[in-house]
Amino acid sequence: MSDNQSNMRKTTPTRVMKLVLIVTGLILAAIVVQIIVIFSGNEERMLRVQCANNLRQIGAALRQYAADHDGHFPEGRQNTVSSQFRLLSNYLGNSAQIFCCPRDLTKVATNQLASITDANISYCYVRGLNRGTPANIPLCFDWGVGGEAGDGKPLSSFAGQSWKKESRHKGAGGTVLYCDGHTRFESIFPKPESGQNWSTNIVEVP
């Protein structure tokens, strides 16, 4: 047997093994990417569920407040969202952390609702509503709709707008709490139905 034949027999399996390792590595990499995608999607879904649960609890407290105040939702003395939510302290106790969206890394969760500030709140609040308001009108929602929305804008200015990429859910949409207490994740902010006037309802943003 020649030296060349001997070398070929020694090197050929090595080349095959290298090829197998490369293919195996590519397959494993693809599997890892799929796992990351799956778990990332599940994480986002879980965060949306938690965000919706926060707003449902806020909605329940708002409706309890309204039941004790002639059907009216809170109207704080100051034009800040925290001024409105502080009025719920008798209904939520030390549960102020629900005002902070789990996706929001810019806010600091707190348990002290009586002293809560806008720095502890992720959700916008619509003023001038009551328990008799139509069910399809937003009462609270994730911050970040449209442009650089500020305090004192009418609810009508948000209608049909999308959430910014800088918003809590990276522009995919936001969770909305409606006046009847139900929540829904919306990709586009809802619009008023025919005959509804949203221009008199002022939105306070954190």
pTM equals 0.76
Return the DSSP state at 161: P
Contact 106, 121 (CB under 8 A): no
For residue 30, name the pLDDT band (cuts at 50, 70, 90).
Answer: low
pLDDT at position 95 = 82
Say whether pLDDT at 37 is over 50: no
pLDDT mean across residues, the chain: 80
Neighbours of 16 (CB within 10 A): 10
**How many Å is the Cα radius of gyration of the chain?**
26
Q: Are 72 and 130 in contact (CB under 8 A)?
A: yes
Between 44 and 199, whose confidence is greater?
Answer: 199
Confidence of residue 22 (pLDDT cuts 50, 70, 90): low
Per-residue burial over 2-13, b if 16 or more Cβ lie within 10 Å, else e, is eeeeeeeeeeee
